[in-house]
Structure 1
Amino acid sequence: MTAQKGPLRSGRFPVWVPHAARNYLAHTQKGLSIRAVARECACHPSTVLRQIRRFETRRDDPLIDAALDALSDQVALAEATKNWGENKLMTQRKIDRADPNQELTQRRIDQEAKRILRRLCEPGAVLAVAREMETAVVVRAAGHDDQLRTAMVEREIAQAMALKDWISCPEPENRIARYFITNNGRAALRRLTAEDENRAHGLGQRRGDPAAEAAWDLDAIEGGSRRTRRYHGTESPLVGLARRKDRDGSPFLDRALVVVGERLREDFELAQLSGDVITKWEDIMDGPTPDDPARMRVRAALAELGPGLGDIVLQCCCFLEGLETTEKSMGWSARSGKIVLRIALERLQRHYETTGGKFGPLIG
């Protein structure tokens, strides 16, 4: 589809809204005919008709329905600002209450989507949305019929991801809707991850060039000469160790230690450290003093562990490297890594227990 123009490009629609959703709102909320919308988009009316029908059938999805309602309210507010008159006071109050720091922008959606889509790539992961809850959660199977919560998602972020068709809900009529990552979501994650790798290499993404963006495929990057960290689409090594049995038949890693490792990984991703060039413990400890709360928590945790223990949790919990790879990179003997990792997680657990009040609870 060619670039939108005319009223469909106006500030009444946020730039992150997909073209198909804009066309649907232009027809249903602004009253433009299908032919008028097609002229604005320089496409055939049948294309617009299919888009409108598809969104009508998707209104059963609670996230999409809420997203379209919110966008409809934005359109109505924008229309009201054209005529101050007797509505001047009401409109001004609505504008004054808006928080620019919470504005839903493409940048904010992308940053959050990288974290959420990575989690949804893990085996058995779903995004669960309860109609009465303000936030959504990502959960996955943790063995023994248990579930592990791996992330929390702001509802408006989840709505935007559903509207972009990055996640879908096969059975939206349930009280708790369960969303899975789509092929479009996996493609978006590859693109966003490639852009992070691109920035880390200092190459600079050619913005606005679809061919250039498509060229930075994650598989091509991982096949390059530089070893690339696998921040997505990979099950945490902790989950595999939790399935293994110790000599007495109990899990080698109990659930509490898995949660500890997931907590560190969550902070690592919230701090957006995945875009930095980090290969070892010293890369974080020797850097400038962080002022971001998530970075402070990561640095405090790794400082408590020190080199060696800090390196193995960084490799296995944050970079999702397998134990064999970590053992080779650290120069350790085979099968020694799992023992060291358990010791590191036990010390990390004590650290979180003693500093929980200072650093706050796990949000994911």
Structure 2
Amino acid sequence: MPDWVPQNARHYLAHIEAGLPIRALARAAGCHASTVLRQVRRIEAQRDDPLIDAALRRLGTYQRRSPSFGPEKDHATMTAIARIEETEIDENRLSREARRILRRLSESGAVLAVAAEMDKAVVVRDTADGGTARTAVVDSAVAQAMALKDWIACDAPGRISRYRITALGRTALSRLLAEQESRLRGFAEAQTAFSSGRALEAALDDTEDSPQRRRSGYALSDSPLTALARRRDKTGAPFLSDALVSAGERLREDFELAQVGATLPPDWDLSQPVGPDDPRAPLRGVEGARVRLARVLRDLGPGLSEIALRCCCYLEGLETAEKRMGWSARSGKIVLRIALQRLKRHYDETTGPGGGLIG
């Protein structure tokens, strides 16, 4: 059974699917039988949740492989096992996807929409004009794992169920982000011992004035773009339209997919060609995200690319960005809007209208 499965779910499946007694499970776990009984009853009460029920049905197939079911298994069961093993997630993938999805769910008004019999779940959030915008897409298997671990919860299951991040989910997100930061810093220290590590030092410099410190002036639930989108100009219109916010989120997706933990290294020459000659040529995976990121930063140019990276990717507050870039007060939001307009034009020209969100 996958490592990410919580202990209470393991006890439930061992008792329900394999028929193991409560007392035997308690002896193996080194706890009282009433503890295991409460765990089993709690999981049983959660089976009305569509994601949890689907996760338990998937994991039940693993339990039915145990020797207690005998060496002979029907063809349908073996086929189901093979199909599930092909798509099953591991601990590393769950952590990587959970960082991305839980971060999106931490934004104001964000929910995870799950439709019955669909292979994907979608994160949507409310926009300033009263509509909704899609911010991420995740495999249903990952959503099932997050629900089983109580990171997300559904208030009213239905044809389209809506899940919100829980207190445990916010705690898990903080832990996952801290672990990622620790790995990045440990990797940087190891590289410095063998090389100059100029790019990594720029990425992970821990001095107070370093723009790469990745300390945000905003909470995850209130990024600089969403905060600006709620502001109104003199005419009463949103200061940032949904299209501009989507362009900024598109840049952030490429930034995270490329696993870039820093701004551009000082020796990266943006005047050189990047990737295929055709800007509309399909680019996939991590390398494709790096190529797209390099292209858009080269298109924005100095100044605009830096403010876009700081506010869209590093989630720095406008006041912090203005101070570190030496700009006058209250000038950052104007320059940021110009950068987002240029960013939207770039995505419209290369991926078509709407920016082509990855999900």
- Cα deviation, 1:163-191, whole Å, max 9, x if unaligned, reads 1111111222x322111111211111111
Q: Which one of the candidate residues 53, 57, 67 is aligned to 2:41? A: 53
2: CA distance, partners of 1:301 / 1:146: 28
Superposition deviation, residue 133 in structure 1? 2.7
1:243 to 210, 227, 230: 230
- 49-58 or 249-258: bigger deviation: 249-258
Kindly provide the amino acid, as one letter, of the partner of residue 112 in structure 1: E
Shift of the alpha carbon at 1:90? Answer: 6.7
Which of 165, 168, 174 matches 2:153?
168
Return closer, same or farther for 1:155/1:348 CA change in 2, 3 Å cut-off. Answer: same
| 2:323 maps to 1:308 | no
Structure 2 letter corresponding to 1:45: A
Is contact 1:18–1:164 with CA below 8 Å preserved after alignment? yes
Give the corresponding residue for 1:319. 314
Note if contact 2:26-2:36 (Cα within 8 Å) is conserved in structure 1. yes
The alignment's TM-score, normalised by the length of structure 1, stands at 0.80
Q: Select the residue among 287, 291, 310 that pairs with 1:296.
A: 291
Once the two structures are overlaid, the 10-residue window that deviates more, 55-64 or 346-355, is 346-355
For residues 21-100 of structure 1, what are the structure 2 equivalents within 5 Å? 21-77=9-65, 83=71
Aligned residue identity for 2:41: R
Q: Which moves more between the two structures, 243-252 or 116-125?
A: 243-252
| Equivalent residue, structure 2, for 1:272 | 259
Distance 1:128 1:72 in 2: 25
Identity %: 56
Report if the CA contact (8 A) 2:121-2:143 is conserved.
Answer: yes
Residues of 2 paired with 1:66 and 1:149: CA distance? Answer: 24
Shift of 1:297: 2.1
Q: Aligned partners of 2:39 and 2:269: how far apart in 1?
A: 51
Q: Which deviations, in whole Å up to 9, do the C-alpha atoms of 1:23-49 show, x marking residues without a partner? A: 000000011011111111111000000
User: For the Cα contact (< 8 Å) 1:121–1:233, is it kept in 2?
Assistant: yes
Q: State the alpha-carbon separation in 1 of the partners of residues 136 and 32 from structure 2.
A: 42
User: Residue in 1 aligned with 2:174?
Assistant: 190
Contact 2:128 2:238 in 1 (8 A): no
Contact 1:281 1:302 in 2 (8 A): no
Partners of 2:76 and 2:239 lie apart in 1 by: 61
Match of 1:244, as an amino acid? R
Deviates most, 175-184 or 19-28: 175-184
Residue 280 (structure 1) shift = 5.6
What residue in structure 2 maps to residue 361 of structure 1?
356
Q: Is structure 2 residue 246 aligned with structure 1 residue 259?
A: yes
Secondary structure of 1:143's counterpart equals coil
Equivalent of residue 344 in structure 2, options 341, 345, 349: 349
Q: For 2:215, which of 229, 232, 237 is the aligned residue?
A: 229
Question: Is 2:125 the partner of 1:130?
Answer: no
Matched residue, 1:217: none
Residue by residue over 1:209-263, the C-alpha shift from the partner in whole angstroms, topping out at 9 and shown as x without a partner, is: xxxxxxxxxxxxxx99684433962412122222222333322211111111111
Q: Within the alignment, does 1:121 sit opposite 2:116 as a pair?
A: no
d(CA) in 2 for partners of 1:98 and 1:184?
Answer: 27
Shift of 1:264: 1.1
Number of residue pairs matched by the alignment? 329
* SS of corresponding position for 2:239: coil
